Amino acid sequence: MFRLDRKVAIVTGGASGIGKAIAKLFAQQGAVVYILDLDNGNTSPEEDVVNGSAYFVKCNVSKQSEVMDAVTEIYGAYGRIDILINNAGIAHIGTAETTSEEDFDRLMSVNVKGVYNCLHAVIPYLREHGGSIVNMASVAALVGLPDRFAYSTTKGAVISMTLSVAKDFLEYKIRCNSISPGRVHTPFVDGYLAKNYPGKEAEMFEKLSKTQPIGRMARPEEIAQLALYLCSEEASFITGCDYPIDGGFVKLNT
């Protein structure tokens, strides 16, 4: 079950964190994976996978020309694209009052335009024989989080784009869903704590972990397992849905 043999998958932001976990799992399940990212994370994806292949392509998803070139290259190599994981994104802390125009534009460029750019480039190839798209949203789009104005705005847009794409391309057998994680223990979290709470990292990590009713942060691999299911044949009846994977945060904290 949940095999992706002979599937060609694109994972944006796949060099670290959730994206890397998705790339590794998809390759292990038989897919040929292309990681689109600005940085390879100082690791070789090929070293982390078995029974599959993963390749790194340097690409800024906020630049449509770079995305188009990367997607054209991938299609040229394999003659097909089956899966798109729109995972690349950046975070920001601030309210509508404290968020600068520069920061707002930066988040919109990556988190919203970046998703659009990849959809725009990949969908023409998915139309040939169908496929699956998973967009990474966030619980920030579903509940009010303090100091996450711009980030929440962009993730709300991601869910709306998911519904639109799912509706528009039903006849082409293109399925489009989104995932809304709660807090996930990634290198970003560790960097955030080191920068903002030096000397108190462990204390703050425990505090943040317990904001999930289940009592801990998710592991990137747990998010990857959900993405794998949504892209597999076993999920062939699922489209136009958003899936919170949040340790009970949305339903049990409100």
Is the per-residue pLDDT at 52 higher than 60?
no
Pairing of strands 131-136, 53-58: unpaired
Q: Residue 11 and residue 200: Cα distance in Å, rounded?
A: 34
Please state the rounded mean pLDDT for residues 105-128: 98
Percent of residues, the chain, with pLDDT higher than 90:
90
Q: Is 169 helix (H, G, I), strand (E, B) or coil?
A: coil
Kind of pairing between the strands at 131-136 and 83-86: parallel
Domain ranges of the chain: 8-182+220-248, 184-217
**pLDDT-based confidence at 253, cuts 50/70/90?**
confident
Active site (annotated) includes residue 125:
no
Query: For residue range 134-181, what is the model confidence (pLDDT) as tens digits?
Result: 999 999 999 999 999 999 999 999 999 999 999 999 999 999 999 999
72-107 pLDDT tens trace = 999 999 999 999 999 999 999 999 999 999 999 999
Position 198 pLDDT exceeds 70 = yes
Catalytic residue from among 34, 151, 197, 229? 151
Worst-scoring range by mean pLDDT, 27-41, 114-128, 228-242? Answer: 27-41
pLDDT band at 42 (very low <50, low <70, confident <90, very high): low
Residue-level pLDDT at 50: 44
Three-point CA angle 130, 66, 34, nearest 5°? 50
How confident is the prediction for the chain on average, in pLDDT? 94
For the structural domain made of 8-182+220-248, what CATH number should be given? 3.40.50.720
User: How much of the chain exceeds pLDDT 70, in percent?
Assistant: 95
| The pLDDT of residue 53 | 87
- Euclidean distance between CA atoms 232 and 211, whole angstroms: 31
- Using the Cα atoms of residue 105, residue 111, residue 116 and residue 117 in order, give the sign of their dihedral: positive
